[in-house]
Amino acid sequence: MTLLGRYHLNPRVLDGALSGQVFDGLIESLDPQRSIFTAADVKRLSTVRNVIGERLADGDIAPLMSPVNEYLNRLVEEADFDVAALGTPPDFSTHETFPVDRKSAPRPRSLTELHALWAIRVKDDWLRLKLAGRADDAIRSTLRHRYETMAARARKTTSDDAFQWLLEAYAQAMDPHTDYFGPATARQFNTEMSLSLEGIGAYLREHDEYTQVTELVPGGPAVSSGRLNVGDRITAVGQGTSGPMVDVTGWRTDDVVTLIRGKSGSTVRIEVLPDEGRGDAAGHLVSLVRKHVSIEDQAVQASVIDIGAGAAPHRIGVLSVPSFYEDFEAKRNGGNYRSVSKDVADHIKVFRDQKVDGIVLDLRDNGGGSLGEAVALGGLFCGAGPVVQVKDAKGRIDVQKADGPALWSGPLVVMVNRASASASEILAADLQDRGRAVVVGERTFGKGTVQTLVDLDDVAHAEGLGELKMTIAQFYRINGATTQLSGVRPDIAFPQTYAETEFGESTYRNALPSSSVPPAEFRKAPRLANIEATLQKEHDLRVGKDAAWEVAVERLTACRKMADRSTVSLNLVERKAAREADMRDMEALHRRERALAHPGQRDDDTVTADDGLTPLERPVGPARTKAGRHDDPFLHEAAAMAEDEAVLLRSVADGEAFS
């Protein structure tokens, strides 16, 4: 409360008005589809609505848990209702509909209306499985297990979970990007930012009463042992070579992960049962020595695309950057640390050795990360100079600059979409403002605020308090404009993959307003301005006759059409007809895509139909692999534009160097 009341970019005291927003946010986060709380429930729970600040200040949080307890009890009640509803097979000859999205719907006025919602959801669950070809007995068994699992998860909720939900609601009432991380969430966040962990190198999930292995990280102790397999179920964990084995059957996955992770060089023993699909194979004990494991599939990926016909096509390097990661802890400790700018620099050096003609920097779906890394990346492509302006709560403006020479001064195309946010927008805006790159794609997310991570253990000289991610400043382009709400507009627009009215900063009710500051001193290279119109013309000509581009646009249109449906029919004949029509459309698109990507090759693939199962109910498959995008026509077009840029710049005798 002290930190948010004093040091937030827009500090606010947790008075009655803000308390009300916290309460509303908590209710919304617990029940976003408005199928748990009735209007009467919310009114009854509102006795704490305006006193959240008082109770938190007094340390008297028990009354504030009433919405959470009501939510958990209602989940168990719903599970019991759903199981009871399985006794009679539904009637699919009626013309009822199921609402796909109830976020804006009015809350049920009574328990009767609430139960009616639950009933049609059970009916939809049954119908999806029926259309997937399952018999009634199998459907009943699957759904019974699903609903009983829902109740079991509710019963496993801890006070720490409830406390985190409450403080998340408080933090996010300040602005959409302020957040509270409990200890477990903080560890996960730091793992994602550093792309590393100390453990055995395995991804886990909850599966029935077990924790199940879903993937093994290459180079990790688990895969190196050869004794732990995807699908294995963990039943007990022991520390060291002789510590007692702790039975973890029925435990939550995050608690099991806490036991398995530990310092590099230490030993952990794991008792496993093989995957059910391997028959009645006996369980066994696996002893592993933990080590520092790098999560490579979430790092920068580099590849080369050959563009153009003839014996000597142009070579375009592609850098797919999924996030702006940085190992904060290793950096603070003064040791060698990993970061996205270091990885990109290494790839650029390889590209130069390979004599690529241009680079595509793919920032699509990159939600941001370290501000310092955005500045460092700007330097890799522009050299020394301003990258971003940061204004704090007192109005002070800091122009953050990159130093050192550029590693790549050749043709550069930056790809963005609506999911490119924060640090991605900083980098794209800098490269655009300095005339360094052609930005292509969609208008970006529009997040123009800066967050800092506060370790609450350090602040309070205690343990187990977690971390606060707090908005402390707003960033601006070097030309003085903001990306807050407005995002970065591409120089050349590609088809929209996300609806701007449903996704982006502008969809948050409490997003901070946009503003502007004076421009920083910088020099914009003119050479792209000389060829911009030609790049647009060549792009228009190319995509106008590109069959793969046409199919990709049709797929986006078809997917948006399906996503925009507000309801689906619960009539078997109507739903089956709609499903078959969707499948025909998607299979036709799939065949055309395959024919274009692999001409002459027989298409044995089919579009995967809805199987009616949840992700946790599906069997674990083979290990995840980083999907390549060479069959992506949007990426291919960006590479073709980099080739255009290379050819055109060679023909323009401006001799301009970036500085």
Catalytic residue among 433, 491, 632, 644: 433
CB 38 within 8 A of CB 108: yes
Average pLDDT over residues 281-287: 84
Residue 189 predicted with pLDDT over 90? no
Residue 310 predicted with pLDDT over 70? no
503: which 2 tokens?
A: 């996704």
**Residues 81 and 205 occupy one common structural domain:** no
Q: How many residues are present in the chain?
A: 659
Asked whether residue 658 is assigned to any structural domain, the reply reads no
Q: What is the identity of the amino acid at 182?
A: G
**Percent of the chain whose pLDDT exceeds 90:** 77
Model pLDDT, residue 184: 86
- Residue with the larger pLDDT of the pair 282 and 644: 644
Cα dihedral sign for 550, 553, 557, 563?
positive
Model pLDDT, residue 311: 65
Confidence of residue 625 (pLDDT cuts 50, 70, 90): very low
**Residues 170 and 300 occupy one common structural domain:** no
Q: What is the mean pLDDT of the chain?
A: 91
- Burial label for 336, CB within 10 Å (0-12, 13-18, 19+), is exposed
**Residues 374 and 273 occupy one common structural domain:** no
**Residues 328 and 460 occupy one common structural domain:** yes
Model pLDDT, residue 626: 43
- State the first-to-last Cα distance of the chain, in angstroms, to the nearest integer: 45
Cα dihedral sign for 404, 352, 412, 425?
negative
Question: How many degrees, rounded to 5, is the angle at CA 111 between CA 85 and CA 167?
Answer: 105
Residue 279 predicted with pLDDT over 60? no
Asked whether residue 651 is assigned to any structural domain, the reply reads no
Asked whether residue 655 is assigned to any structural domain, the reply reads no
Give the count of domains, the chain.
Answer: 3
Asked whether residue 491 is assigned to any structural domain, the reply reads yes
The CATH number of residue 251's host domain is 2.30.42.10
Confidence of residue 329 (pLDDT cuts 50, 70, 90): confident
DSSP code per residue over 7-72: TSSS-----HHHHHHHHHHHHHHH-TTS-S--HHHHHHHGGGTT-HHHHHHHT--GGGGHHHHHHH
At 151, phi and psi to the nearest 5? -65, -40
**Residues 481 and 336 occupy one common structural domain:** yes
Of residues 203, 273, 195, the one with CA closest to residue 621: 203
Confidence of residue 624 (pLDDT cuts 50, 70, 90): very low
Average pLDDT over residues 214-235: 91
Average pLDDT over residues 596-607: 65
pLDDT digits (tens, 9 = 90+) for 14-32: 999 999 999 999 999 999 9
Confidence of residue 655 (pLDDT cuts 50, 70, 90): very low
Model pLDDT, residue 603: 55
Asked whether residue 64 is assigned to any structural domain, the reply reads yes
The CATH number of residue 514's host domain is 3.90.226.10
Among the residues of 532-632, which ranges form H helices? 532-544, 547-563, 572-597
Average pLDDT over residues 409-428: 97
Model pLDDT, residue 610: 85
pLDDT digits (tens, 9 = 90+) for 492-517: 999 999 889 889 999 999 999 999 99
Residue 277 predicted with pLDDT over 70? no
How far, in Å, are 312, 401, 440, 523 from residue 431 at the CA level?
A: 29, 13, 12, 12
Lowest mean pLDDT among 56-60, 299-303, 635-639: 56-60
Residue 548 predicted with pLDDT over 90? yes
Distance CA 570, CA 208 (A): 29
Model pLDDT, residue 125: 96
Model pLDDT, residue 650: 84
Asked whether residue 587 is assigned to any structural domain, the reply reads no
pLDDT digits (tens, 9 = 90+) for 263-272: 999 999 999 9
**Residues 386 and 510 occupy one common structural domain:** yes
Counting Cα atoms < 13 Å in the Cβ hemisphere of 117 gives 21
Average pLDDT over residues 524-528: 91
Confidence of residue 325 (pLDDT cuts 50, 70, 90): very high
577: which 2 tokens?
A: 């007809």
pLDDT digits (tens, 9 = 90+) for 57-97: 999 999 999 999 999 999 999 999 999 999 999 999 999 99
DSSP code per residue over 234-303: EEEEEETTTPPEEE-TT--HHHHHHHH---TT-EEEEEEE--GGG-SPPPEEEEEE-EEEE-GGGS-EEE
pLDDT digits (tens, 9 = 90+) for 426-446: 999 999 999 999 999 999 999
Model pLDDT, residue 207: 85
Who contacts 622 (Cβ-Cβ below 8 Å, separation ≥6)?
Answer: 230
Average pLDDT over residues 288-314: 87
Model pLDDT, residue 219: 87
**Residues 166 and 69 occupy one common structural domain:** yes
**Residues 304 and 283 occupy one common structural domain:** no
- Burial label for 224, CB within 10 Å (0-12, 13-18, 19+), is middle
Catalytic residue among 339, 341, 422, 424: 422
Asked whether residue 463 is assigned to any structural domain, the reply reads yes
Q: What is the H or E stretch that residue 469 is in?
A: strand 467-476
**Residues 272 and 332 occupy one common structural domain:** no
Asked whether residue 609 is assigned to any structural domain, the reply reads no
Helix axes of 66-85 and 136-155: crossing angle, nearest 10 degrees: 160
How far, in Å, are 7, 168, 186, 252 from residue 469 at the CA level?
A: 12, 10, 10, 25
**Residues 338 and 437 occupy one common structural domain:** yes
Indicate if 433 belongs to the active site: yes
Distance CA 335, CA 589 (A): 51
Boundary (domain end) residue, out of 248, 265, 294: 294
Boundary (domain end) residue, out of 239, 272, 294: 294
Model pLDDT, residue 143: 96
Range of the domain at 289: 196-294
Boundary (domain end) residue, out of 115, 139, 174: 174
Catalytic residue among 130, 291, 391, 447: 447
Please name the residue that has the structure tokens 């502007």.
Answer: 516
CB 317 within 8 A of CB 361: no
Model pLDDT, residue 82: 98
**Residues 7 and 23 occupy one common structural domain:** yes
Residue 211, strand partner residues: 206, 234
**Residues 447 and 488 occupy one common structural domain:** yes
Confidence of residue 659 (pLDDT cuts 50, 70, 90): very low
Residue 456 predicted with pLDDT over 60? yes
Lowest mean pLDDT among 129-138, 188-197, 207-216: 188-197
Distance CA 448, CA 371 (A): 11
Confidence of residue 628 (pLDDT cuts 50, 70, 90): very low
Residue 656 predicted with pLDDT over 60? no
Average pLDDT over residues 216-243: 92
- Residue with the larger pLDDT of the pair 43 and 186: 43
